[in-house]
Chain A
Amino acid sequence: MITAERKPLEEVKDLIGEARNVLVMGCGTCVTVCFAGGSREAAELVVSLRMATRLAGAPREITETTVQRQCEWEYLDEARADVEQADVIVSLACGIGVQAIAERFPDARVVPGVNTTFLGMPTEHGIWEERCAACGECILGITAGICPIARCAKSLLNGPCGGSEAGHCEVSPDTPCAWQLIHDRLQRLGVLDVLMQPQPPKNWKSSRDGGPRRIVRDDLRLAGEQE
């Protein structure tokens, strides 16, 4: 899933500024699952903002809605009436949702209510960890199903570096060394020899370094939209 963390209330207040009609929009998918921007968090933010508004003494209308997925037009369209009435929309979706609103509603002012953090998963209650860097050229097949691009602090392809000790990364004792994990799993699977050959430099073109990315699937496109 895409994980996110709620922005501090003060920052959200600053982003809203003097706007009179505020719409807080949650998203029912990834950010709901990671407790950052679903309907519950949207309701909580509304309560906090209303309280802050009362303290400030300025009149302000604050409403909320949550759509299933802010990153798809058809779901966003369901909220069109609310969006058009708002002076500002606080999107609690990931950065994709914020941008989808901006694209779909050219006159709307939209601000983010969360910081999009990473592609990851919950490992314990209340703990999420990064797992994928969306680099566009998956190497999990040679790294025992553990991604060094996302999970090694230096994205090494020939790790571990000298900073690996007692199973953790030099960056933090809370961060497992991805290459220790890869080593241990390759050993368990009986294919440790994979680590003996130097891995060549990565082609970063398929990652963000190649510029904004786009996928075209002709088999899925409608006849009228074919380029």
Chain B
Amino acid sequence: MTANPISEDGSLSGSRLERLLRAGHFAVTAELGPPQSTDAGVIRAKASLLRGACDAVNITDNQTAIVRMSSIGAGTIVLAEGLEPVIQMTCRDRNRLAIQADLLGAYALGMRNLLCLTGDHQQFGNHPTAKNVFDIDSVQLVQMVTAMRDDRVFQCGEAFDGPEPRFFVGAAAAPFGGPVEYRPYRLAKKAAAGVNFVQTQLIYDVPAFGRYMAKVRELGLHERVFILAGVGPLKSPGMARYMAKNVPGLLVPDELIDRMTEAGAAWAGKPAEELTPQDKKARAAAWKAEGIRICVELIGRIREIEGVAGVHIMAIEWEEAVRPIAEGAGLLPRPTLEEAAAS
């Protein structure tokens, strides 16, 4: 028997993120990285920085292949703190049995949003000698969880009784990964697999993203999938240069690197030993302020692109930046569900 795909509120999952998106609100999601320990206090502190500044918060799953508290474990704490988590699930560390089992548990614990990822290769993390799994990939993961939700079947095809996990199913999109001309079609593949929303890799080159979105619109994908553009504040010119050079699928225009460099111009040209700790602190603050300014401007420009349903703010280990960015971009206060229902 096929389960009813839409609940009374018009959503698949009942999640706040989904309901706001379906009501046509420009959504804001953020990211929370769990600690490399059992410290729930870290999560609560980060949650308080993000509460009210976004609609839902991604809880990363051993991001960059470094062991951290599990996404579902940390998500439970986030939920108790009054925020809505987006559980991230990678294919690197679990096979199809473990993924399905963990997702049944996550749903029972109250998680409603899920982001399906392939996962960074373990060689980048702190256990490079580990065996990876990759039993299924992100596209197949999307297929698996949508079939669990819509057809109440496990991946093996076996039907199950009892309530099904009704997730709002997301995935990642890398508009500038190689081969660039295939990327809109890979999104089409994820749409065909049943994905409901995607969050993109960090966007700094708005015209290039605009070209990607033009193709996405041509394929009609923006009408089938909610597309949240990934944005993030630059912290320093060094970080900007590093990302431009070393992170696959990331375009950082020279103009932005120059702006970051310019922001620290007052301290430029001095040898490091001549800079006092106060100098360094002031320079870091100037860089960060410029990084936030740039991010706010990027959101403004990205919002103009037809088919963009929201932004995903990735402030890596800098959760303090999310509120000023959302505020600066005119995205606060976030709408309530009552407002969503009324609109």
Partner-B contacts on A (CB < 8 A): 153-167, 170-171, 177, 180, 183-184, 195-201, 204
What are the 5 closest A-B residue pairs judged by CB atoms, nearest first? A162-B174, A158-B139, A165-B248, A164-B178, A156-B137
| B177 CB contact (under 8 Å) in A164, A200, A204 | A164
Closest approach, in angstroms, between the C-beta of B202 and any C-beta of chain A? 11
- Could you tell me the distance between the alpha carbons of A163 and B65 in the complex, rounded to whole angstroms? 14
Can you identify 20 A-B contacts, CB atoms within 8 angstroms? Answer: A154-B119, A154-B121, A156-B134, A158-B140, A162-B177, A162-B201, A162-B248, A162-B249, A163-B177, A165-B178, A166-B178, A167-B178, A170-B121, A171-B121, A177-B178, A183-B179, A195-B186, A198-B189, A200-B143, A201-B144
| B182 CB contact (under 8 Å) in A154, A167, A183 | A183
Chain B residues, Cβ within 8 Å of A196: 185, 188-189, 192
The reply to whether A154 and B92 form a contact with Cβ atoms under 8 Å apart is: yes
Chain B residues, Cβ within 8 Å of A183: 179, 182
The reply to whether A160 and B179 form a contact with Cβ atoms under 8 Å apart is: yes
Known A154-B119, A164-B177, A198-B192; further 17 A-B contacts with Cβ < 8 A:
A154-B92, A154-B118, A157-B137, A158-B137, A160-B179, A161-B118, A161-B137, A163-B248, A164-B248, A165-B178, A165-B249, A171-B121, A171-B123, A195-B182, A195-B189, A198-B143, A199-B139
- Could you tell me the distance between the alpha carbons of A204 and B156 in the complex, rounded to whole angstroms? 13
- Could you tell me the distance between the alpha carbons of A55 and B121 in the complex, rounded to whole angstroms? 45
The reply to whether A160 and B121 form a contact with Cβ atoms under 8 Å apart is: no
Chain B residues, Cβ within 8 Å of A162: 118, 172, 174, 177, 201, 248-249
The reply to whether B137 and A159 form a contact with Cβ atoms under 8 Å apart is: yes
The reply to whether A161 and B177 form a contact with Cβ atoms under 8 Å apart is: yes
Interface string of B187-211 (1 = CB under 8 A from A): 0110011000000010000000000
| A153 CB contact (under 8 Å) in B121, B182, B192, B248 | B121
Instruction: Tell me if B113 counts as interface (CB < 8 A to partner A).
Output: no
Partner-A contacts on B (CB < 8 A): 91-92, 96, 118-121, 123-124, 132, 134-140, 143-144, 155, 172, 174, 177-179, 182, 185-186, 188-189, 192-193, 201, 248-249
Chain B residues, Cβ within 8 Å of A177: 178
Cβ-closest chain A residue relative to B141: A201
Closest approach, in angstroms, between the C-beta of A135 and any C-beta of chain B? 12
Cβ-closest chain A residue relative to B96: A201
Residue among A162, A166, A196 with the highest chain B CB neighbour number at 10 A: A162
Whether A198 contacts B92 in the complex (CB less than 8 A), given A160-B179, A163-B249, comes out as no
Whether A180 contacts B248 in the complex (CB less than 8 A), given A162-B201, A196-B189, comes out as no
The reply to whether A201 and B140 form a contact with Cβ atoms under 8 Å apart is: yes
- Could you tell me the distance between the alpha carbons of A170 and B177 in the complex, rounded to whole angstroms? 11
